[in-house]
Amino acid sequence: MWRPTALAESQGVSKWQWPADEVYGDNGPLRSWLENSQIRYVLAVSRDHQVPAGAGLAIRADQVAARLPRKAWQQLSAGAGAKGHRYYDWAFLAISDSRPGYRWLLIRRNQRTRELAFYQCYAPRQVPLAVLVKTAGRRWTTEENFQAGKGLTGLDEHQVRRWTSWYRWVTLAMLAAAFLTITAATGHARSPEPDGQYPLTRNEIAHLLATVTSHPHDAPHRMRWSRWRRRHQHRARISHYQRQSMRL
């Protein structure tokens, strides 16, 4: 996965940031190219990723995590989800390097399973932990977009063997996904949903298009069902967030 993510000026980052998975994070030449290009990044790395420890030595990322004191961890949200904020324990430490800029090892710990995930980060200037966490959390948005492309527009359902055929299929699938995304965003901007009702999502729009076009005479009934579903989705979302706030 390799996608750009822009963070707002108010969050302390004014340029593009790049989140990506371990395939890219463990690629040293790629990281060097990004740094030489002054491109900030938060790249996932493997647990055996070698972190410089000074004097020409290096230590595994998971060994670094094992040595961190309890006070090094902070609970922060990586973003809002359908069932509440995605809270994890986070820690980060500076990586010494003679080259310009700042580098960190960012560590995420699941509060329930204690599973660890690791990221190597870079920025030309100092940034707070919250900004790095926010950038790392953007990976979920990209994953959701991939899942939407597969589930709603058949992005992964091509059965072709040639480049041209594959390119055409993927292009059409992405155009369909873009149509759903723009339709949802335009609908939210022009006519916000009334209180107590979940806004139209890409999934709901695709469902309505499929059912209304196949049964046009039944469109009013389908729209009533849609409003009923979205009312219940709204109530469920509120309940999830309330339960989460009571546990904190």
pLDDT tens digits for range 161-204 = 889 999 999 999 999 999 988 888 887 776 666 667 777 788 78
pLDDT at 238: 67
- Residue spans per domain, the chain: 5-139, 147-247
Give, for 81, the enclosing helix (H) or strand (E): strand 74-81
Separation of alpha carbons 59 and 69, rounded Å: 17
pLDDT at 193: 62
Q: Which long-range contacts (C-beta less than 8 Å, at least 24 apart) are formed by 109-116?
A: 109/65, 109/73, 111/75, 111/87, 116/47, 116/62, 116/65
Residue at 112: amino acid letter: R
Q: Tell me the whole-structure pTM to 2 decimals.
A: 0.68
Contact between residue 104 and residue 132 where contact means Cβ atoms under 8 Å apart:
yes
- pLDDT, tens digit (0-9, with 9 covering 90-100), for 41-97: 999 999 998 888 776 788 899 999 999 999 999 998 887 776 677 889 999 988 888
Give, for 103, the enclosing helix (H) or strand (E): strand 102-109
Among 112, 3, 104, smallest CA distance to 45 is for 104
Separation of alpha carbons 124 and 89, rounded Å: 25
Among 228, 230, 236, smallest CA distance to 193 is for 230
Res. 16 pLDDT band, cuts 50 70 90: very low
